[in-house]
């Protein structure tokens, strides 16, 4: 938390925190990594890539503009 609040990047601080906790617990990383559901991590990584690409093309703004009248609640 201190690193994030001091302006460092959230992903970097998360990785640093995980590394520090692994060292403090003196746990071998191999069994920990064996328990990770890599398909979910790859799914979210792909999702972030797709959303970033859609954001760069401007399609998200066009979709918002198209759906905004339907979601305004003034039916």
pLDDT for residue 18? 85
**Per-residue confidence in pLDDT tens, the chain, 75 aa:** 777 678 888 888 888 988 888 889 887 878 888 998 999 999 999 999 999 999 899 998 999 999 988 887 765
**CA contacts within 13 A on the Cβ side of 13:** 10
pLDDT for residue 39? 95
pLDDT for residue 74? 63
Instruction: State the pTM of this model.
Output: 0.51
């Amino acid at each position: 938390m201190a690193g994030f609040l001091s302006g460092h990047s959230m992903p970097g601080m998360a990785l640093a925190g995980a590394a520090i906790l692994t060292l403090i617990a003196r746990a071998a990383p191999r069994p920990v990594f064996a328990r990770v559901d890599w398909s979910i991590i790859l799914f979210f990584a792909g999702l972030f890539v797709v959303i970033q690409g859609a954001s760069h093309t401007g399609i998200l703004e066009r979709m918002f503009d198209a759906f905004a009248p339907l979601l305004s609640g003034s039916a």
